[in-house]
Amino acid sequence: MNDRSTLDPIGLTRRLCEIESTTYHEGAVGDFLAGFLADRGWEIEKTPVPQPAESTTAGPRWNVYAGAARQTPDLVFSTHMDTVPPYIPFSEDSDFMYGRGVSDAKGIIAAQVAAAEALRAAGFRIALLFVSGEERDSAGAKTANLAPKGNRFLINGEPTDNRVALASKGALRVVLRAAGKMAHSAYPELGDNAVHKLVQVLEKLLKLRLPVTEDVGPSSLNIGQIHGGYAPNVIADHAEAQVLVRLVSDSAPVRAAILNAAEGLADVDFTLEIPFVRLRAVEGIPTMVAKFTTDIPQLSNWGEPLLLGPGNIHLAHTPQEKLAKKELLEAVELYIKVAKQLLA
């Protein structure tokens, strides 16, 4: 099959969303995209992305790069193939598509493919990069960054309501671990309660005055998970919490504040950092500030980045994820317009 007919981005979104691809399980959707794009005349590279130890049974996964043979692209469209759990089956009506990934980010994949094909037909040097693992640790982007293609611009796709992002907040993921001594709860003096220690640390964190950047907004802190102890009548000898800070500046003062809050009470492990980044505007295109993080900091070798895509981030990662078909089609034209302005 060698189908060069006009691409239907709504139909492609449907086909992509019918393939379950929560993080670590991107293999099948990567295979589909590689075959689909090869059939449409793209030169395909599939690069393996390693699985972490806890998901080695999930099977192989990859990044998919699509370009022209022996050609250095001027501009690369990129987004991610993985989605957050749980998988939500695709559905649609006359105006909207619903289900996991329609906006974050399989509809964006479809819009980027349609735009890339139109630009390729007009003689522009365009390529596509679709990666694994963005929703967890940017493993695919880190792998891709080891083999850049020399392009001048990277248009990364995330739900921005078809507005160009002027900045993207960073992220600092923290694990706090408190240790104690187990005892009967009737005799607390014989034990050392790790949960009580952890609660003290978390109370301090909630009172921190985090950095604010005037044209971006404040940092934010979320205590996302707490685990510890065995039973109400047992003094807990262990407790753990996972915290995520959204960064609007350098992480150093935030790290120092967290270490100070935990001193003498809990051990601190900074498990992931994605830096805050500023991005460029494009004349005539509405703008926004992305309070979320993206793969952009991990794709530093792929040209000057921009962030743009259809969909509302408030609905991503929720059971209500949806994307207007009209907005998806508008995104195709917007991607084409921005690419032409950049390459003029």
Structure confidence at residue 4 (pLDDT) = 56
Judgement on whether residues 182 and 78 belong to the same structural domain of the protein: no
Judgement on whether residues 79 and 195 belong to the same structural domain of the protein: no
Structure tokens at 14: 């449907």
Query: pLDDT, tens digit, for every residue of 230-247?
Result: 999 999 999 999 999 999
Q: What is the dihedral of CA 329, 330, 336, 341, to 10 degrees?
A: 180
What's 29's domain CATH number? 3.40.630.10
Residue 181 lies in a domain: yes
Portion of the chain with pLDDT greater than 90, in percent = 95
Do 242 and 174 form a contact (C-beta atoms < 8 A)? yes
CA distance linking residue 141 with residue 130, whole number of Å: 9
Do 168 and 276 form a contact (C-beta atoms < 8 A)? yes
CA distance linking residue 136 with residue 133, whole number of Å: 6
| Residue 6 binned pLDDT confidence (cut-offs 50, 70, 90) | confident
Neighbours of 218 (CB within 10 A): 14
| Residue 2 binned pLDDT confidence (cut-offs 50, 70, 90) | very low
Instruction: Give phi and psi for 305, each to the nearest 5.
Output: -90, 150
Judgement on whether residues 145 and 293 belong to the same structural domain of the protein: yes
- Note down the domain range covering 183: 170-274
Do 49 and 66 form a contact (C-beta atoms < 8 A)? no
Token look-up 């699509």 returns 66
Residue 159 lies in a domain: yes
pTM: 0.90
The closest of 97, 39, 106, 31 to 64, measured between CA atoms, is: 31
CA distance linking residue 203 with residue 233, whole number of Å: 23
What's 217's domain CATH number? 3.30.70.360
Residue 34 lies in a domain: yes
Pairing state between β 287-290 and 164-168:
parallel
* Sign of the four-CA dihedral 308, 133, 24, 8: positive
Residue 306 lies in a domain: yes
Which of 93-115 are b and which e, b meaning 16 or more Cβ less than 10 Å from the residue's Cβ?
Answer: eeeebbbbbbbbbbbbbbbbbbb
Structure confidence at residue 10 (pLDDT) = 98
Residue 4 lies in a domain: no
Judgement on whether residues 161 and 33 belong to the same structural domain of the protein: yes
Structure tokens at 337: 């317009």
Residue 130 lies in a domain: yes
Query: pLDDT, tens digit, for every residue of 298-332?
Result: 999 999 999 999 999 999 999 999 999 999 999 99
Residue 270 lies in a domain: yes
Domain final residue, candidates 255, 274, 293 = 274
Structure confidence at residue 1 (pLDDT) = 35
Query: pLDDT, tens digit, for every residue of 257-289?
Result: 999 999 999 999 999 999 999 999 999 999 999
Judgement on whether residues 19 and 151 belong to the same structural domain of the protein: yes
Portion of the chain with pLDDT greater than 70, in percent = 99
Residue tagged active-site, from 26, 134, 158, 240? 134
Judgement on whether residues 100 and 158 belong to the same structural domain of the protein: yes
Task: Count up the domains in the chain and report the number.
Answer: 2
Structure confidence at residue 53 (pLDDT) = 87
Judgement on whether residues 194 and 150 belong to the same structural domain of the protein: no
CA distance linking residue 91 with residue 323, whole number of Å: 11
Structure confidence at residue 54 (pLDDT) = 86
Judgement on whether residues 16 and 98 belong to the same structural domain of the protein: yes
Domain final residue, candidates 215, 240, 274 = 274
Judgement on whether residues 186 and 80 belong to the same structural domain of the protein: no
Provide the residue count of the chain: 344
Domain final residue, candidates 274, 290, 323 = 274
Judgement on whether residues 32 and 136 belong to the same structural domain of the protein: yes
Query: pLDDT, tens digit, for every residue of 28-77?
Result: 999 999 999 999 999 999 999 999 988 988 999 999 999 999 999 999 99
CB hemisphere CA count around 104 (13 angstroms): 29
* Sign of the four-CA dihedral 58, 322, 314, 223: negative
Judgement on whether residues 225 and 93 belong to the same structural domain of the protein: no
Residue 1 lies in a domain: no
Catalytic residue status for 283: no
Instruction: Give phi and psi for 304, each to the nearest 5.
Output: -70, 125
Judgement on whether residues 177 and 238 belong to the same structural domain of the protein: yes
CA distance linking residue 279 with residue 304, whole number of Å: 9
The closest of 128, 92, 79 to 18, measured between CA atoms, is: 92
